[in-house]
A and B are shown apart, each in its own frame.
Chain A
Amino acid sequence: CTKNFERYNTDNTGVTDDDLKADFKDLGTFLTRAQRSVINFSGGGDPNSYQLQQNLNADCYSGYFMSPNPFNGGQNNLSYFMMTGWNGETFKVGYLNIMASVNKLRVNGVDTAYPAVWAVAQILQVAGMSRVTDTYGPIPYSQAGSGKTGIAYDSQQDVYNRFFLELDSATTALRSFIGGSETLPFTFSTFDLVYNGDFTKWLQFANSLRLRLAMHLVKRDPATAQLQAEKALNPSEGGVITTNAGNMAVKVSGAGFSNPLVFIAKNWADIRIGASIQCYMTGYADPRIGRYFDKSTDESFPAQYKGIRIGSISGGSKDDYVGYSSLNYTDGNPAFSLTSPVQIMTAAEVYFLRAEAAVRNWANAGATAQSLYEQGINTSMEQWNVSVGSYVSDATSKPDAYTDPKNSANDAPAPSAITIKWDDAADINVKMERIITQKWIAMFPEGMEAWTEFRRTGYPKLFPVVNNNSGGLISTEVQIRRLPFPQNEYNTNAAEVNKAVQLLGNADNGGTRVWWDKAD
């Protein structure tokens, strides 16, 4: 008699699709998961995933951070010794958390039943997967989820083209919903961890995201870059983010969730401020510095804002450098706590993107480069609730040289002589350096986009790694350009990842540039 066998072989702690139908959890579960995964904290609890997804690569390669922890005796990604086990998480999160969730919404019929909600899902997919392609280059995209094995990769150019088409579809749906009278049978704000159910803000984010992605292509494909940027900025599209109220930041709410960056800094003490951003901000006497960083707590030198040089930790103890400046969650008026929203895109960044568009004389920038540049700075100061003072008119302050109070071998001259005050007469390179440098300070602590922009523009000028353990694969001066494909792809999808290396056009290592990183 085996009539109960199916019941026995059913996990009593599992949840089924049927269970999730009530209260539209079959929609909310996946939409919120996608939101929490662009920068991944969807697992709750320990932010192991985020640490490898972004923190121990892009966050440090962008000059924002450095780990005091001598992982693997200092031979790790931060000294260009590419750890096999560290290079797959960005990829994994993209597919298992973002694309699988969005796919589930499609399976559940959200695309046809609630096109505006589906539009939000598509925007999240583009926001998330653009980070994946920017990290590796070619990725599986059009064929993702199509079988158990043998998932083909798309070239990065094809992936970007798809992004733009998906954004087209999403913004069209959103404009139609906003202009129409359709209502949803559920309260969308319950499932919206960003804009509290405001579809107009999602539309503005979508346009801002298009602008950001367009700008990524300016070196390789300036025509597409200009076309997409002008489209993003075209008022008929619904506008871009202009105020801090429109910032794309995912709320950290619900038991078990925490801001993963703050968690790593505070609970694990595994991440500290990087030397590059410290030198720029101390050099500029930037009013945001006291909000971003706390002062050093190492007893061997006086308390001060002091970052760590990337690639300088080669063995020894974590205690050697753990007392250097941390992300500020304690000092004075800290900007960060375990429940701080996870920031993905700000109004300030959009102003700087528009400033660049203006410098390039593209249509629809909406104002002069100088005014957009200054508005970018002002909006950021406002975001962090500090007084801008005479910052924008400071024509003398320059980034500091770096001194390491514990090891002078890490000392380095100032990375750049760029000042703050806008100079309309300067050549385009100086203008670009100024815009990107200030954008970089404003975007803190979102390292993924900062690393992408550094690779695209060469700005801000960042300190190179002190120790380069890449065995000659990555140039210390040119700095790291991408992460190698995950080992798991070679183990499970070998034929396709080998084709992807052909698409990449060069060896699969950190020294190879992705498609948009190469001037044609």
Chain B
Amino acid sequence: SFSQTVTITGKRMALYDIFNSISKQTGYEFVFDEKLLQNAGPVDINMKSAPLQQVLDKCLSNKPLSYNIIDKIIVISPKAAIKETSVAAEKPAATIQGTVTDSAGHALPNVSVQVKGTTRGALTDEKGHFSLQAESNEVLVFSYLGFQTKEITVGSNTNLSVTLLSSDQQLGTVVVTALGIKRSEKSITYATQQVSGVELTKAKDPNLINTLNGKVAGMSISPSSSGVGGSAKVILRGNKSGLGSNQALYVIDGVPMNNSLTSQPNSSYGGSGAYDGGDPISNLNPDDIESISVLKGASAAALYGSQGANGVILITTKGGKAGRTQVNFSSGLTLSQIAYKPKFQNSYGQTGGTGSNPQSWGDKISGGSADNLSSYFRTGTNLTNSISLSGGSEKMQTYFSYANTSANGIQPKNKLSRNNLNFKETGHFLNDKLTAEADVNYITQTIDNTPLSGFYFNPLTGLYLFPRGANLAQYKDKFEVMNPARRLMVQNWPFNEDVQQNPWWIVNRNPNSLERNRLLLNASLKYEVASWLNIQARGSIDRINDVYEQKIYAGTIATLAPANGVYVYSNTTTNQQYGDLLANFNIPVNEDIRITGILGGSVRDVITNGEKFNSGQEGLNIANKFLIQNFTSFNPLNSGTLQENHSQFQSVFGSANISYKDWVYLDLTARNDWSSNLAFTPSGSYFYPSVGLNLILSQMAKLPEAISFAKVRGSYAQVGNSPLAYQANPAQYTFSAGGTFSQSTAVPFTDLKPEKTTSLEFGTEWRFFNNRLSVDATYYKTNTKNQTLQIAASNATYYDSYFINAGNIQNQGVEAIVRYDVLSDTKLKWNTGLNFSTNQNRIKELAPGINSFTLSGASGSNYVSKFAVGGSFGDIYGSVLQRDEQGRIKIDADGKPIRQSGDLVFVGNANTKWQLGWNNNLSFKDFTLSFLIDGKFGGKVMSITQSMMDQYGVSEESGAARDAGGVKVNGVDPSGNAVTTVDAQKWYTTIGGREAASGEYMYNATTVRLREVALGYTVPVKNTFVKALRLSLTGRNLLYFYKKAPFDPELTMSTANGMSGVDIFMPPATRSYGLTLNATF
């Protein structure tokens, strides 16, 4: 499938020079082990305008070398020895047989097996088998593109079973870069990290991105607390934007994915509008993914424009392969349980013994240790079955897959079911000059009863706060009772508080559901105009339709619903259309210099349509009839046509990659975006450039033997970020209750400018001892300026807020990856890797006269997330106790601590200071074992759950304090006497609660855990029908080596910018165990 021609003439030319010349003429890159070439000897050649394949055949014809062309990469590997003629063996060599598989147990065909120091060798067949002659003291070298080279001393074993580990660090690895272009890794001028599809399917999670947690340096993943199918917050190299998105961009096969979020809670109350229906990445079938590469910095993303400012996660999906048909079947079951429980006291009962007081400050009780949590939480299950078929001829390749996911969350009635259907077809036409590809994905997903975090509609408030010693079982058995006066069933719960209801009432009688239908279509046409130019056109449509419903039955607490109940319905469709046109060129300037590059343009258009209906406090005519026509009246504040949020981005871009002798690589990119969100502003478009430079030290100079590879790189980039729709042109009025209109309270922002992130990074890569040890380190610094900030205005201006462009948010940090093959020549093989990253975020400036900006506030919980000059993203402000000059807590005459009134004060920052992941892969015969330990160090988080449990007297601390006769404090009374003990009830009812002295509820966020363990066994099958069979046992989040907070600090209530580092009755994190079967036919 290539037709370039090459002209080379010369006598006794070194292969190395020939390859260089071919490379320059064609743009193809060579991947080889230089030692092979040194032994290969010179070549006489005389080819004029000959096809590439013919040239390669010719110059390798008498050499012990073969080649393999994958995309634009030519891999040179040792050829299987045909005859043992050249070397007369003194001792007869034994016939060594064996099988080569990857770590998932798939047979690897075409692996080169070479006897070290000889020309003898073989290639594995379809089933991964090989056979060759070797002596017991000889060493076999196994090499294969994309896998780590392995050396094995033959020994007495004549039947070898060899597992090759995939490698994203090997010399010559191909990396998928911006716009789907594959490049050899050594030419990249910025930090990337590639993860194979295997990592995603090893221990599956309903949201595949969670399986990357801890595996990529500089990537922070916070799963949302919203049960199965919930979204995850993925941040690369720190938060950059106050109002805009900070999430990484997902790109599937070169096309940016629509990553619109479903609504996220932005207040401590949560409530029915704050459901999390999962992000678009969570919908994908992990089995369809070939590999993921993470482009961390802005340089990498320069070609994706504003969307890529926060880094890019490139996903390459599987396709059919010529000449091979394969059926893969995979089935996995995962069981999950809560990983920890809040700690309760069991010694003191309900205040007043019985009745409607919901607190537990009563008398001593015995037998209060009923395990209420176990009566509620259940074992979650996740059953995934997937099948894929792939195959094809040289002209046509087909890939088909279907997956079904059926998961039950740890909370009753929380359920996800998903179907993924994928069909991909690739065809080659017109003498293989034209390649057409189309990919259709259809996804249906239903999530029932997404747990809602916060105080409202959250079963956990009632569950946790339930008086100790009282009988909860009666409310589980009978969550509703007949109200004869109304002739309907109403809630059975003894307490009248907005923050709690009967947990089983909530799951049964306040149910929510989200149904998603998603169609993702991609098509591309690529035409090779000339040997140095091809033109590609791509288009994609990603259409996501969400229907959300919540049915709130009569009998629900009055604060949340009027007497007859509430019906909430919304139907939204987000449609993203993307198209681009690219010209890929490749110009050999002379022997040493080559220029490749792209010129292109793209259009992306995103529009949301839909409507919402919420009967709200106006209520329903007939109780419990959940229909829109049953609304008593229509309130435009709750119901109506949704904002379209129509945004269109038009771009032109270009890149040039100039290389000199495989020593020096220079990347230049430029892009200009026109954004509809900038309409009505003076700056309709924005331009941003990037430049990167790469030096391969190991090619420039002769380095000591121990150093196999050395590279230094540096890059500088600027990326613009478009403001949100309508910021420059907010509606003058919006519909309000009863046919009235409310006036916009934001001053129109007519001088709005796009946000700009400037990024600088330096990195270096070193490999030692024949690539056995590798080190990759990067320093980066990004500054995000022209932030669009919504600044509170004095109301006396007649506005609530206005927008400004200002600020400078700086992120700087270091990422390092170290890998080492500890054992590779023995039967037991072990490789280990460390990922380290640290990020420091600083808000350097905002605007003159403005030194703080509120991201998300929660009136009523004394928590606010703020931007302040000198502070950093994620700073938490809370309320604290009054202290005297000596730091002693002031205690009032009544014996209670005194809280400080006035504005909230800084109490901590939730961001992790540094992270370390330690990944290990071991294999022994047919067994493989991998485990990942990761730690996130530093940061502080707040637990409002704990403050509520303290106030209600149910927490272990509140019981222990009573046992000890009070809370030990360093306090002072109004007359200046020292106070050492405060009555437990007075202390906790003053500092605790939903409007707590929240500064008292900050916890160290450092967490070290055994994140993932996977044990695999490849069943040795001797069967022509089943080609490979593999079983694996996995566990996730198995053990916390260190965790001081009362919850898992990694969880987040919201995957948007706010509510980070605060726990308001989030469900506990889960621990899961899985069994997976993979079979290839």
Chain A residues in contact with chain B, CB under 8 A? Answer: 1-2, 4-6, 8-17, 19-20, 25, 29, 32-33, 42-46, 71-73, 75, 81-85, 88, 91-92, 94-96, 99-101, 103-104, 139-140, 143-149, 151, 253-258, 263, 267-269, 315-320, 322, 467, 469, 471, 486-493, 496
Contacts and interface: CB of A to CB of B under 8 A. Distances in A.
B484 interface: no
Q: Which of A42, A75, A490 has the largest count of B CB atoms less than 10 A from its CB?
A: A75
Contacts of A318: 496-497
A101 to B, nearest CB: 8
A102 to B, nearest CB: 10
29 contacts: A5-B678, A5-B684, A8-B679, A11-B726, A11-B730, A13-B643, A15-B735, A19-B733, A42-B737, A44-B740, A45-B638, A45-B737, A46-B617, A84-B902, A88-B795, A144-B796, A149-B797, A255-B739, A267-B558, A267-B559, A317-B497, A318-B497, A319-B495, A319-B496, A490-B903, A491-B903, A492-B792, A492-B793, A496-B794
A145 B798 contact: yes
B737 A5 contact: no
Contacts of A491: 792, 852, 903
A6 B358 CA distance: 56
Nearest to B733: A15
A106 to B, nearest CB: 12
B676 A20 contact: no
Contact of A73 (B642, B852, B990): B990
Contact of B993 (A16, A29, A72, A139): A72
A490 B903 CA distance: 10
A47 B120 CA distance: 86
Contact of A6 (B680, B741, B992): B680
Interface stretch (B47-55, B276-284, B644-652): B644-652
A254 B901 CA distance: 40
Taking residues whose C-beta sits less than 8 angstroms from the other chain, chain B's interface range is 35 or more
Nearest to B986: A315
Q: Which of B684, B728, B742 has the largest count of A CB atoms less than 10 A from its CB?
A: B742
A5 B517 CA distance: 29
A17 B732 contact: yes
Given A6-B679, A84-B902, A148-B799, 11 more contacts: A1-B650, A8-B648, A13-B734, A16-B732, A43-B637, A43-B737, A45-B637, A255-B635, A316-B357, A488-B794, A493-B794
Contacts of A95: 795-798
Contact of A255 (B633, B674, B734): B633
Given A32-B740, A488-B792, A8 B852 contact: no
Interface string B741-782: 111010100000000000000000000000000000000000
A475 B864 CA distance: 31
Nearest to B804: A148
Contacts of B730: 11, 14
Contact of A269 (B496, B739, B796): B496
Given A316-B359, A319-B357, A492-B793, A256 B798 contact: no
B899 interface: yes
A317 B358 contact: yes
Contacts of A13: 640-643, 731, 734-735
A441 to B, nearest CB: 30
A15 B684 contact: no
A256 B639 CA distance: 11
A204 B795 CA distance: 31
A44 B650 contact: no
B354 interface: no
B995 interface: yes
B693 interface: no
B906 interface: no
B736 A151 contact: no
B859 interface: yes
Contacts of A10: 726, 729
Contact of B798 (A20, A25, A99): A99
B635 A84 contact: no
A45 B617 contact: yes
Contacts of A316: 351, 357, 359
Contacts of B741: 15, 20, 25, 29
B501 interface: no
A15 B646 CA distance: 17
A492 B635 contact: no
Contact of A8 (B676, B894, B898, B951): B676
A103 B796 CA distance: 12
B849 interface: yes
A371 to B, nearest CB: 43
Interface of B: 351, 356-359, 495-498, 558-559, 562, 616-618, 633-638, 640-644, 646-648, 650, 674-680, 684, 725-726, 728-743, 745, 747, 791-800, 802, 849, 852, 859-860, 882, 892, 894, 898-899, 901-904, 951, 989-990, 992-993, 995
Contact of A148 (B638, B647, B742, B747): B747
A175 B273 CA distance: 51
B899 A315 contact: no
Contact of A75 (B646, B725, B743, B899): B899
A388 B623 CA distance: 43
A149 B901 CA distance: 26
Contact of A2 (B684, B737, B800): B684
A12 B641 contact: yes
Contact of B995 (A73, A147, A148): A73
B635 A45 contact: yes
Contacts of A268: 498, 558-559
A186 B516 CA distance: 50
A317 B495 contact: yes
Q: Which of A101, A147, A491, A493 has the largest count of B CB atoms less than 10 A from its CB?
A: A491
Given A4-B676, A13-B642, A492-B794, A267 B737 contact: no
A92 B739 CA distance: 23
Contacts of A315: 989-990
A483 B677 CA distance: 42
A317 B859 CA distance: 20
A147 B733 contact: no
Contacts of B498: 268
Nearest to B616: A45
A94 B796 CA distance: 9
A317 B792 contact: no
Contacts of A471: 882, 898, 901
Contact of A100 (B633, B635, B798, B882): B798
B357 A12 contact: no
A147 B904 CA distance: 28
Given A11-B729, A267-B558, A319-B357, A42 B648 contact: no
A100 B802 contact: no
Contacts of A72: 993, 995
A318 B899 CA distance: 21
Q: Which of A13, A267, A489 has the largest count of B CB atoms less than 10 A from its CB?
A: A13
Contacts of A82: 901
Q: Which of A9, A143, A489 has the largest count of B CB atoms less than 10 A from its CB?
A: A9
Nearest to A319: B356
Given A254-B740, A315-B989, A149 B648 contact: no
Q: Which of A5, A84, A99, A147 has the largest count of B CB atoms less than 10 A from its CB?
A: A5
Contacts of B740: 29, 32-33, 42, 44, 254
Contacts of A322: 496
Contacts of B638: 45
Contacts of B643: 11-13
Given A13-B731, A29-B740, A104-B743, A317 B356 contact: yes
Closest 9 CB pairs of A and B: A44-B737, A14-B731, A254-B738, A256-B737, A493-B794, A140-B796, A100-B798, A256-B635, A255-B633
Contacts of A14: 730-734
A42 to B, nearest CB: 7
Nearest to B974: A472
A320 B737 contact: no
B732 A96 contact: no
